[in-house]
Amino acid sequence: MELSLGEMLMIALAIVVLFGPDKLPEIARGLGEGVRKMRGAVDDIKTEIMKEADNPVSEIKKEIEKVKQSAQDYNPLVDKNNQPLVADNTPKPDLSNDDAHEGPVSR
C-alpha cells in the first residue's frame, strides 16, 4: 500500500482538524511507541521461529554423526572385546603355481 504525497497531506490535515495542533506531539509519540513495540514483537517471533527451525536440523546432524562414528567403529569380524569371531589358521593355497586352477569360469 503506497501513499502519494497528496494523500499523506490530506491525512495529516484531517488529523490536525480532528484532534487539534496541541495533541499532535502526543499522538506522534503514541504512534512511535506502538511501532517500536510491534517491531520488537515481530523480532521476538522471528527469533523463536529460527530457534525452532534450527533445533531439529542440529539434532539430525548430531544423529548422523553418531551413525557415522558407529559405522566406522563396527567390524563384523570381531566381537565386543575385539576378539576374532572366526579363528582361521589354515594356510591359504598359492594358486599362482597351480596349473589345475583356471580361475573364475563363467558357464
- Give the pLDDT confidence of 21-72 residue by residue, as tens digits: 888 888 889 989 999 999 999 999 998 888 777 667 778 888 899 988 887 7
CA 60 from chain centre, in angstroms, equals 9
Return the pLDDT at 32. 93
What is the domain range of residue 57? Answer: 15-73
Please give the residue that has the higher pLDDT: either 33 or 83: 33
**Count of domains for the chain:** 1
Residue range 3-16, pLDDT digits in tens: 899 998 998 889 88
Asked if residue 100 belongs to a domain, the reply is no
> Residue 107 pLDDT more than 60?
no
Asked if residue 42 belongs to a domain, the reply is yes
Asked if residue 85 belongs to a domain, the reply is no
19 contacts: CB under 8 Å, gap ≥ 6 = 27
Asked if residue 59 belongs to a domain, the reply is yes
Please give the residue that has the higher pLDDT: either 66 or 80: 66
Asked if residue 2 belongs to a domain, the reply is no
